[in-house]
């Protein structure tokens, strides 16, 4: 192959030999003009790397918006990007979920274009795509009004109608910083300084008269932003710090068709009708009362009877499956929390200590130390194992004010908690039984589809994982086999540090996902072997469920 | 030690259940499983009898004996997403039957009270999501 020719590997196995500098759009056109018209963006994967889907990045963070990419990973590029090396090429159409993120990011640029045309004194922050749409942060002395949003949306329609191509440009970093400093673009100055290397070229995207520092990619032109809506306005502090200027964040959403946009709003409407806070009031199930405190739940008679049915089922099922039921105190001496390690690792999530007579007490955030005290209270032999202790235990955890959400994020709740003390050889059977139990819970309560995830550990990040390598290997090994043996797909991934044990999680999605809450889940964690638990050092490893 | 929480948080799981079912709980979980609507005041004695029999069968029952129109009472139970609404007047009282309105299915006509109880008990004990 001569130096001016590159090999482009297409998904169907065909390899095109094209001159270096050929763009994905040109290749698409050579395959079929219809494909070229349908393509939104291209995915390139280095030929030597595996052609895997890239993990969806957390698109809301500035880091993923601007940071340099791993050169071996698949990446999305504009259809107009000249290809200069051998590569795998996939052309993403409007059906691809990743393409949706791209058009939403382009919609954010259209929004910023409209805002600058209407309010030229505005300074730009950042404007990423999100799971539900997009936003852009703006700084200006006078806040936007709801009427402004209507005007802005109308102007966006003009920008789309102009069908301006999104063009990638690059500028030496020094020149870019100079220009931003001159114009008082303090936020862009920050992003360029933070996310690009001195001496490098900085990429910009231009559509018509609008230019934005941006890594891309974008749809080919503003005309491809066909269905969008400006939704709302919120305040946000620059860099999340309340000492900084307050920015105005305009939210919107975008889809490839009006139909998809309409369906999105229909789903939101359905989710709003199903909002448990609304239904909780309408059906008189529960309340949360300002006088008593945020995040503390009152179960009314009608909610109370449902809870009784749920709890009866759970307790009966625990007994049937060989658990013993226990009850432990809600407050326990601070000394215990020091020994358990919660004082050190979990204090920020606990209510502050209270004094009584000569000792300090703390509300329990977890049931583990209580169950371990019961286990330790009498000598055990191997023949006693496994010991399975279960409790519907009330725990109290601090959540930041303003973060509470109905029954989903609270400061006091009831865990259907259990701890199984067993020999290393029994772990696998116990994990199998736990996963079977978890499935029984989901099926009984009407959840038919769910995924099982196994959180393991990252041996390269040793400092953030408690316990010895041997115990991790034992626990991961005994949890993986049963998790994989289930019919449901199991996705292993390192647990978020700090972590004390591998954890198998089943989660299921409901309309909650549409309302922006994280899906609920149940979990099973395997801690180091029970035989070594009656030392305080090992007790400390039972920190996190 | 294996640590497990299956509801996770009972509160959170309840919140999820409410949204999953949009408040229309399956029979075994519904706070009020059967709503009783006597057509007029002279059917209140029969309502008491039906109420007792259902309760003896372990069902959760609520009588609406307000001096309101039948349709208003039915609507109120329906708004509470009550799985079954039993309506009865002279005809049902004479036959020892009830007229059954099933959530999501509407008027199912009348059936002997004993048959309704047997059906409801079976659905509760099997934790069925059907009505």
CATH of B24-125, one of 3.40.50.720, 3.40.50.800, 3.30.200.20, 3.30.40.230: 3.40.50.800
In this predicted structure, the answer to whether residue A88 has a pLDDT above a threshold of 90 is yes
Of the pLDDT bands very low, low, confident and very high (cuts 50, 70, 90), residue A453 is confident
Distance CA(A501)–CA(A544), nearest Å, equals 8
Min distance A129 CA to chain B CA atoms (Å): 27
Cβ atoms within 10 Å, residue B105: 9
Q: A180: number of CA atoms within 13 Å, CB side?
A: 24
Tens digits of residue pLDDT in A293-311: 999 999 999 999 999 999 9
Do A261 and A326 belong together in one domain? Answer: no
Using CB atoms, pick whichever of B5, B10, B11 lies closest to residue A523: B5
Do A373 and A260 belong together in one domain? Answer: no
In this predicted structure, the answer to whether residue A70 has a pLDDT above a threshold of 60 is no
Nearest CA to A306 out of A445, A401, A452 is that of A445
Quote the tokens at residue A400.
Answer: 């930041």
Tens digits of residue pLDDT in A124-183: 999 999 988 999 999 998 899 999 999 999 999 999 999 999 999 999 999 999 999 998
**Is B3's CB within 8 Å of A430's CB?**
no
Q: Mean pLDDT in chain A?
A: 84
Residue A278 located in a structural domain: no
Structural domain ending residue among the three candidates A59, A93, A127: A93
**Is A416's CB within 8 Å of B10's CB?**
yes
With 0-12 CB in 10 A as exposed, 13-18 as middle and 19+ as buried, what is A438?
Answer: buried
Using CB atoms, pick whichever of B1, B23, B31 lies closest to residue A419: B1
Contact A393, A417 (CB under 8 A): yes
pLDDT > 70 in chain A, percent: 83
**Is B18's CB within 8 Å of A276's CB?**
yes
Contact A60, A130 (CB under 8 A): yes
Cβ atoms within 10 Å, residue B77: 23
Using CB atoms, pick whichever of A297, A305, A526 lies closest to residue B11: A297
Concatenated DSSP letters for A424-475? GGGHHHHHHHHHHHHHHHHHHTT----EEEEEE--GGGGGGB-S-HHHHHHH
Tens digits of residue pLDDT in B68-116: 999 999 999 999 999 999 999 999 999 999 999 999 999 999 999 999 9
Quote the tokens at residue A393.
Answer: 């235990």
**Residue A261 host element (H or E):** helix A258-273
Do A253 and A130 belong together in one domain? Answer: yes
Query: Which has more confidence, A252 or A489?
Result: A252
Distance CA(A59)–CA(A56), nearest Å, equals 8
Contact A264, A153 (CB under 8 A): no
Distance CA(A11)–CA(A210), nearest Å, equals 35
Predicted pLDDT of residue A67: 52
The ipTM of this complex is 0.96
Distance CA(A158)–CA(A151), nearest Å, equals 11
**Residue A85 host element (H or E):** none
**Is B15's CB within 8 Å of A408's CB?**
yes
> Is the pTM higher than 0.80?
no
Cis peptide before A65 (omega within 30 of 0): no
**Is B18's CB within 8 Å of A392's CB?**
no
In this predicted structure, the answer to whether residue A271 has a pLDDT above a threshold of 60 is yes
Do A268 and A298 belong together in one domain? Answer: no
Of the pLDDT bands very low, low, confident and very high (cuts 50, 70, 90), residue A467 is confident
Do A142 and A215 belong together in one domain? Answer: yes
Do A205 and A316 belong together in one domain? Answer: no
Q: Which residue of B has its CA nearest to A305?
A: B31
**Is A282's CB within 8 Å of B23's CB?**
yes
Top residue of A446, A503, A533 to mutate, by most chain B CBs within 10 Å, is A446
List b or e across A115-152, with b for residues whose CB sees 16 or more CB atoms inside 10 angstroms: bbbeeeebbbbbbbbbebbbbbbbbeeeebeeebbebb
Of the pLDDT bands very low, low, confident and very high (cuts 50, 70, 90), residue A496 is low
Residue A540 located in a structural domain: no
**Is B16's CB within 8 Å of A510's CB?**
yes
Q: What is the CATH number of the domain that holds A13?
A: 3.10.20.30
Predicted pLDDT of residue B51: 97
Contact A106, A136 (CB under 8 A): no
Of the pLDDT bands very low, low, confident and very high (cuts 50, 70, 90), residue B20 is very high
A240 secondary structure, DSSP code: G
Do A257 and A111 belong together in one domain? Answer: yes
Distance CA(A165)–CA(A6), nearest Å, equals 27
In this predicted structure, the answer to whether residue A530 has a pLDDT above a threshold of 50 is no
Tens digits of residue pLDDT in A308-351: 999 999 999 999 999 999 999 999 999 999 999 898 888 889 99
Quote the tokens at residue B95.
Answer: 């036959």
- Per the structure, the complete domain to which residue A168 belongs is given by 98-273
Q: Bridge partners of A136?
A: A250
Distance CA(B41)–CA(B59), nearest Å, equals 24
Residues of chain A found within 8 Å of residue B6, distances taken between Cβ atoms: 314, 416, 437-438, 441, 522
- A190-206 average pLDDT score: 92
**Is A510's CB within 8 Å of B23's CB?**
no
Distance CA(B44)–CA(B65), nearest Å, equals 7
Quote the tokens at residue A129.
Answer: 């795509």
Which residues, other chains included, contact A466 with Cβ-Cβ below 8 Å and sequence gap of 6+?
A: A498, A499, A500, A540, A541, A543
Distance CA(A77)–CA(B2), nearest Å, equals 46
Do A129 and A257 belong together in one domain? Answer: yes
Residue A153 located in a structural domain: yes
Do A366 and A256 belong together in one domain? Answer: no
Look-up of token digits 């791209």: A102
In this predicted structure, the answer to whether residue A491 has a pLDDT above a threshold of 60 is no
Residue A283 located in a structural domain: no
Residue A353 located in a structural domain: yes
Do A354 and A503 belong together in one domain? Answer: no
Contact B5, A505 (CB under 8 A): no
Concatenated DSSP letters for chain B? -EEEEEEEEHHHHHHHHHHHTTT---TTT-SS-EEEEESSGGGHHHHHHHHHHHHHTT--EEE--SSS-HHHHHHHHHHTT-SEEEEE-HHHHHHTEEEEEETTTEEEEEEEHHHHHHHHHHHHHTT-S--
A22 secondary structure, DSSP code: -
Predicted pLDDT of residue A173: 93
In this predicted structure, the answer to whether residue A487 has a pLDDT above a threshold of 50 is no
Do A106 and A89 belong together in one domain? Answer: no
Of the pLDDT bands very low, low, confident and very high (cuts 50, 70, 90), residue A508 is very low
Using CB atoms, pick whichever of A282, A307, A529 lies closest to residue B14: A307
Number of domains in chain A: 4
Concatenated DSSP letters for A117-173? HH-TT-EE----B-SS-EEEEEE-SSPP-HHHHHHHHHHHHHHHHTTPBPEEEEEEH
Q: A78: number of CA atoms within 13 Å, CB side?
A: 22
Q: Which residue of B has its CA nearest to A444?
A: B127
Within chain B, what is the greatest distance between any pair of CA atoms? 64
Tens digits of residue pLDDT in A381-412: 999 999 999 999 999 999 888 788 899 999 99
**Is B1's CB within 8 Å of A276's CB?**
no
Instruction: Tell me which residues of chain B have a C-beta less than 8 Å from any C-beta of chain A.
Output: 1-23, 25-26, 28-32, 60, 79-81, 127, 129
- A356-366 average pLDDT score: 93
Contact A508, A449 (CB under 8 A): yes
- The domains of chain B are located at 24-125
**Is A530's CB within 8 Å of B129's CB?**
no
Do A86 and A110 belong together in one domain? Answer: no
Tens digits of residue pLDDT in A11-46: 999 999 999 999 999 999 999 999 999 999 999 998
Of the pLDDT bands very low, low, confident and very high (cuts 50, 70, 90), residue A540 is very low
Distance CA(A104)–CA(A83), nearest Å, equals 25
Query: Which has more confidence, B31 or A512?
Result: B31
């Amino acid at each position: 192959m001569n130096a001016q020719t590159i090999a482009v590997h297409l998904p169907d196995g065909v390899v095109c030999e094209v001159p270096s500098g050929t763009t994905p759009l040109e290749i698409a056109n050579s395959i079929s003009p219809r494909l070229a018209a349908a393509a939104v963006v291209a995915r390139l994967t280095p030929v030597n790397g595996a052609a895997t889907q890239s993990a969806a990045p957390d698109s809301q963070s500035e880091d993923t918006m601007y940071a340099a990419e791993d050169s071996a990973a698949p990446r999305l590029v504009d259809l107009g990007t000249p290809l200069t090396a051998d590569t795998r090429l996939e052309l993403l159409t409007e059906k691809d979920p990743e393409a949706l993120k791209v058009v939403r990011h382009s919609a954010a640029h259209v929004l910023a274009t409209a805002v600058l045309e209407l309010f030229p004194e505005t300074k730009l922050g950042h404007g990423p795509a999100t799971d539900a749409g997009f936003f852009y942060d703006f700084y200006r002395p006078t806040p936007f009004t709801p009427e402004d949003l209507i005007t802005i949306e109308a102007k966006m329609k003009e920008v789309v109608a102009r069908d301006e191509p999104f063009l990638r440009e690059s500028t030496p970093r020094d020149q870019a910083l100079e220009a931003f400093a001159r114009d008082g673009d303090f936020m862009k100055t920050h992003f360029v300084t933070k996310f690009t290397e001195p001496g490098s070229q900085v990429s910009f995207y231009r559509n018509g008269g609008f230019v934005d520092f941006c890594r891309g990619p974008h749809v080919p032109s503003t005309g491809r932003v066909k269905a969008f809506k400006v939704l709302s306005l919120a305040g946000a502090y620059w860099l999340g710090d309340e000492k900084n200027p307050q920015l105005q964040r305009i939210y919107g959403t975008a889809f490839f068709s009006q139909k998809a946009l309409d369906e999105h709003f229909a789903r939101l409407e359905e989710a709003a009708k199903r909002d448990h806070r609304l239904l909780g009031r309408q059906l008189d199930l529960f309340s949360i009362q300002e006088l008593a405190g945020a995040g503390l739940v009152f179960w009314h008679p009608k909610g109370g009877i449902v809870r009784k049915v749920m709890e009866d089922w759970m307790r009966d099922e625990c007994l049937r499956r060989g658990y013993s039921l226990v009850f432990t105190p809600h407050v326990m001496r601070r000394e215990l929390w020091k020994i358990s390690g919660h004082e050190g690792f979990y204090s920020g999530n606990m209510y502050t200590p209270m004094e009584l007579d000569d000792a300090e007490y703390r509300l329990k955030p977890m049931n583990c130390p209580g169950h371990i005290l019961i286990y330790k209270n009498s000598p055990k032999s191997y023949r006693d194992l496994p010991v399975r202790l279960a409790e519907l235990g009330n725990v109290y955890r601090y959540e930041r004010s303003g973060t509470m959400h109905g029954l989903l994020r609270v400061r006091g709740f009831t865990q259907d908690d259990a701890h199984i003390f067993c020999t290393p050889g029994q772990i696998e059977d116990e994990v199998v039984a736990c996963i079977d139990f978890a499935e029984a819970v989901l099926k009984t309560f009407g959840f038919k589809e769910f995924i099982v995830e196994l959180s393991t550990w990252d041996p390269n990040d040793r400092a953030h994982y408690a316990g010895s390598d041997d115990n991790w290997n034992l626990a991961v090994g005994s949890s993986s086999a049963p998790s994989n043996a289930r019919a449901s797909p199991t996705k292993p991934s390192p647990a978020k540090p700090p972590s004390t044990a591998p954890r198998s999680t089943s989660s299921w999605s409901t309309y909650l996902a549409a309302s922006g809450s994280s899906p609920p889940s149940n979990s099973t964690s395997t801690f180091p072997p029970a035989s070594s638990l009656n030392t305080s050092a090992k007790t400390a490893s039972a920190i996190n469920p | 030690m294996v640590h497990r929480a299956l509801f996770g948080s009972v509160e959170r799981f309840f919140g999820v259940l409410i949204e999953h079912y949009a408040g229309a709980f399956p029979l075994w979980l519904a706070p009020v499983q059967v709503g009783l609507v006597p057509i007029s005041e002279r059917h209140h004695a029969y309502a008491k009898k039906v109420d007792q029999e259902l309760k003896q069968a372990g069902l959760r029952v609520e009588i609406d004996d307000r001096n309101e129109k039948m349709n208003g009472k039915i609507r109120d139970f329906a708004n509470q997403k009550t799985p079954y609404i039993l309506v009865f007047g002279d005809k049902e009282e004479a036959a020892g039957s009830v007229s059954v309105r099933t959530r999501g299915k509407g008027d199912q006509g009348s059936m002997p009270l004993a048959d309704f109880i047997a059906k409801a008990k079976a659905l509760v004990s099997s934790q069925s999501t059907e009505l």
